[in-house]
Amino acid sequence: MTEPVYPRPAPYKKHFFWRLLKGLHSWFGLLSDVDFQIPIGSVQFLGLNLFLVNDPATVKRVMVDAVEDFPKHPYTLWILEPLIGRAIFSVNGAEWARQRRLVDQAFQVAQLRRVLPQMQGAVEAMVSRLDAAIATKPVTIEIDEAMTLVTADVIVRTILSRPLEAAEAAGIFDAFARYQRRAGQALMLRFLRLPQDKLQAYLGRHARTIRGWIREAIDVRLSGGASQSSDQAPLSDAPQDLLQALIEARDPETGDSFSREELLDQVCFLFLAGHETSASSLGMAVYLLSCYPEAQARLRAEVLELLSSQPGAPGGSDASNRPLAFEDLR
């Protein structure tokens, strides 16, 4: 198989204003092509030292082995704070450790086997949308859009136990896209020493739609009897989803739980991190499979072989038409 296609970087130019223009989309634009090919790329910009770590062993040291020696930069907190508050992704030290204990506990409760039906529901909804799109004539499918919607639907179903409606999805995705564009610009403007509070207020306007939507869902859960105070036992009829697991999580060292505002921060972070990276990976996987039909054929043959080796659906249905079950995933 030949080298997969990938976006080629634009030619590097030393001109300051050209680099600044590229940096408004991403600070990576300040780097040269060579910085992406050496173990550690770097650039000095207005008194700041910016580094891009490409060496796997060094990445492991920074992210795993010596993580305490490389705390997240304050820029990481303030550029994401309008959207995810002080969630686990952007904080350090004892604050991170406490959140990690609670989040770990929640993920242990919300296991893959338990949430797989919600994930299957999101996939079935996507297949129905794609079937409807090509029902009358062949059309071009925007795979990024399709993967973004299905992964966001998975996140909403597994966190909130309900599907993501198409009408609300459009508004949420638009808000995310605006925030992402503005965040890159705000970071560069911060490099230029513009006031932090002004930039955060600017980003906050674009985050308000997302946080408001998630806050409403959490308020409905907390006020609707699906939750309980910290001194009550979990309710037997509460939804068995990730939000409920976060609500019921208790710090084994202190016994405390997430506050309402902390719940909002964590769910905003999970929504941001959970669907975007998965959507990008799935979109690229589908694109590459379309570039290499022989690999696509092997993948399809493997899935059909697996399904045909298991009993069919009730009523004598063809086994190849049944959805993949938890036992099939390995």
pLDDT single digits (tens) 95-107: 999 999 999 988 8
Quick one: pLDDT at residue 9? 62
Spatial distance between the Cα atoms of 39 and 55, rounded to a whole number of angstroms: 5
The rounded radius of gyration (Å) of the Cα atoms in the chain is: 23
**Domains delineated in the chain:** 7-70 (no CATH), 89-291 (1.10.630.10), 294-330 (no CATH)
Spatial distance between the Cα atoms of 279 and 117, rounded to a whole number of angstroms: 19
Written as six digits, the tokens of 140 are: 């071009």
Quick one: pLDDT at residue 1? 47
User: What's the pTM value of the predicted model, to 2 decimals?
Assistant: 0.77
Quick one: pLDDT at residue 16? 74
Longest dimension (CA), the chain: 71
Quick one: pLDDT at residue 234? 44
Spatial distance between the Cα atoms of 192 and 209, rounded to a whole number of angstroms: 28
Quick one: pLDDT at residue 40? 93
Written as six digits, the tokens of 172 are: 């949420």
**Would you write out the chain's pLDDT as a tens digit for each of its 330 residues?**
455 555 566 666 677 777 778 778 788 888 888 888 899 999 888 888 999 998 999 999 999 999 889 998 888 888 999 999 999 988 988 999 999 999 998 888 777 788 888 899 999 999 999 999 999 888 888 998 899 899 989 989 999 888 888 778 888 888 888 888 888 889 888 888 899 889 999 899 889 988 999 999 999 999 874 434 334 444 446 677 889 999 999 999 999 999 999 999 999 998 888 788 899 999 999 999 999 999 999 999 999 988 888 765 454 456 667 778 888 887
Quick one: pLDDT at residue 226? 44
What distances in angstroms separate CA 68 from CA 55, 65, 71, 168, 215, one per listed residue?
Answer: 19, 9, 6, 40, 32
Closest-CA residue to 325 (of 108, 109, 126, 113): 113
Q: Sort residue 47 into left (φ over 0), alpha (ψ -120 to 50) or beta.
A: left
Spatial distance between the Cα atoms of 269 and 183, rounded to a whole number of angstroms: 15
